[in-house]
Amino acid sequence: MNRREFLRASAAGGGALIGTALLGPAAAGCGGAPPRPAGPPPPPPVDAFLAKGARVMWIAAHPDDECFPGALLARASIHHGNPLYMLILTHGDGGECCLKEGCKPDLATVRGQEMRAVAERYRATLQHERFWNAPLPVESFPKRHQIFDIWRKQRDPVQVVARAVRKFRPDLVLTFSPVVGATGHPEHQLTSRVATAGIRQAARASCVGPLPPHHVARTYYVLNKFWVYRLLGRADPGHVTERFDATLPCTRSVSCLSFMTEATKLHRTQDNDMSTVRSLRSAFARVNLRWIDPYQVINQPTEPA
């Protein structure tokens, strides 16, 4: 199930979207076992945690993926004024170009420009990588572990995440889930797995360069729990830890939901999808989250889909 099908089915369904394989020596066992904190997440809900000044990192595969947690990201950076870091692994050059004038000099360049504008709108620091993006049509996508092999030939994505975590030192990390990944896109699933592997690696004593280790206090999966997809067995599996209210204010006059939907207009090349998001804005009124312990819950990037 790709994002286009997800959005179209959401509209058709009434717009109620609620919304140890080895990794190589650099990713497995470097510096000994990672720390293994136990127990449930701390008591404060996510917005109360943000109110304490939490540093937030969003790790995703594509420009425009931020529309899913966008209201929560805006709440952190715009309302609470917290530092926000967006780590995007691809430039989305395997996608489509919806611009009448075309995408010149190429789609990757234009989508990179769009993503920079979005990050500026969110007051976020942007790290935008150029890992390979599976080209349309969806039927031609490799499996996620095959995409991981392609990525590793370019650069170790786990190390990229680990270094970013050590550099930014987030208190809270958001990413998609490792099994379905909100829309079924294998790069969503893979990026989730790379993100949690990088979080573990960043906490180890060595192996990630000169920056000191960093332990992320909270990690959340952003889940698709839309009722149509639950009925079809295509929703993200498992429980929801909490639901963030996207209608909370970002400014005195703008809700976080409105901020997110307006920001989607900056992704002009993806207007076919982003216009659907805007038409379904009420469907994004809740952001479904699952707190996970990335030091104990292991989903390897090399695991076959």
Over residues 56-78, the pLDDT tens digits come to: 999 999 999 999 999 999 999 99
Confidence of residue 18 (pLDDT cuts 50, 70, 90): very low
In whole angstroms, what is the distance from residue 248 CA to residue 250 CA?
7
- Whether the CB-CB separation of 187 and 196 falls below 8 Å is answered with no
Over residues 76-89, the pLDDT tens digits come to: 999 999 999 999 99
Over residues 224-283, the pLDDT tens digits come to: 987 777 788 888 999 999 999 999 999 999 999 999 999 999 999 999 999 999 998 888
What number does CATH give the domain 3-8+43-292?
Answer: 3.40.50.10320
Planar angle of CA 253, 254, 259, nearest 5 degrees = 160
Over residues 89-100, the pLDDT tens digits come to: 999 999 999 999
Query: Roughly how many angstroms between the first and final C-alpha of the chain, as a whole number?
Result: 14
Q: What is the pLDDT of residue 281?
A: 86
In whole angstroms, what is the distance from residue 139 CA to residue 162 CA?
32
- pTM (two decimals): 0.89
Delimit the domains of the chain by residue range: 3-8+43-292
